[in-house]
Amino acid sequence: MEIRNLGTSGLKISAIAYGNWLTHGSQVEEDAALACIRQALDEGITTFDTADVYANTAAESVLGRGLTGERREGLEILTKVYWPTGPGRHNDHGLSRKHIMESIDGSLRRLGTDYVDLYQAHRYDHETPLEETMEAFADVVRQGKAHYIGVSEWNAEQIRAGHALARELRIPFVSSQPQYNMLWRVIESEVVPTCEELGIGQIVWSPIAQGVLTGKYLPGQPYPDGSRATDEKGGANFVQRYLADDVLERVQQLTPIADEAGLSLAQLAVAWTLQNPNVSAAIIGASRPEQVTENVKAAGVRLDESALRRIDEIFDGVIERDPAQTVSPPKRDFG
């Protein structure tokens, strides 16, 4: 397993991180989930990403059970706060001091640990002053409940403002967790240059575009049984944007590039994200242990310039690059 620094911080993480969004506590039975975590550990993955909202807190509990007995100092455990949890009442969401301070304690209890290595704002909160949010994160760090802080799906302006406050408060703001893959490149024009300047690293999610870049979805064909596109619990909503026949036809054109590199299409997709020098890690998910084994083989792979250029040519015209697509929910009216 390749180990990289998270941005310019001293924190080292595995280039392949294991995440349990849309799987643990929801799509996948617990025995299968625990087997995937075990396989991730056996493959050398040390970085595990979750969030309190995943399966309405159940995913954190599953991950905590899966890591029981492991040497805590040898792991990097990441979780997030923002989306509604519990019954979803008015203070059960967002980045208020109240929600952050209560949420970190709940996450630690479910994960079975005294601290997380990285605590991340899962979206930008337009309903709470940024100063209040960052001061609460500072207290979480000073209380020893998190070593570092980060954000997920913040735009460049929001990242810069949050980082400035973190510097004033003398706490380490080290990461951004955006969606990023061959088809979804909205971070490249603004977020990545800003983060490079500030020393912030990317831990990217959906490197295989919800499974589309594996090539298992074929144009004009029914979706495979048990795939994300058939998941009525929420997975199908996230993969729809990639399922146009035009996109699926282009994905099939990646096969010669993958063959030349000695990779599967999934490995090619993960390796592609790791070519970006601002990407510290790519998060993979799995419903079966063999999927973990396949995807970790992307660690340490270097694609040549010819392969990268051909990938760009294949997807020309269907790549989403608009930085305005990085959007957090607007301020809500509670009447």
Tokens 């970790």 belong to 296
Q: Report the candidate in 178, 217, 219, 223 with the shortest Cα–Cα distance to residue 201.
A: 178
The two tokens of residue 301 are: 């792979």
Residue 18 falls in the annotated catalytic set: no
Sign of the Cα torsion 6, 11, 16, 19 reads negative
Residue by residue, DSSP assigns 287-317 as SSHHHHHHHHTTTT----HHHHHHHHHHHTT
Please state, in angstroms and as integers, the Cα–Cα distance from residue 216 to each residue in 108, 246, 261, 263, following that order.
37, 15, 19, 15
Evaluate whether 314 touches 303 at the Cβ level (below 8 Å): no
The two tokens of residue 275 are: 């070519």
Annotated catalytic residue: which of 54, 82, 148, 242?
54
Please state, in angstroms and rounded to a whole number, the distance separating the CA atoms of residues 134 and 163.
9
Q: How many CA atoms lie within 13 A of 42 on its CB side?
A: 12
E-only strand ranges, 99-158: 116-121, 146-151
Please state, in angstroms and rounded to a whole number, the distance separating the CA atoms of residues 245 and 293.
29
Contacts of 275 (CB under 8 A, 6+ apart): 302, 303, 308
Within its chain, how far is the Cα of 115 from the centroid?
Answer: 19
Cβ count within 10 A of residue 26: 19
Please state, in angstroms and rounded to a whole number, the distance separating the CA atoms of residues 37 and 285.
10
Q: Which residues are catalytic?
A: 54
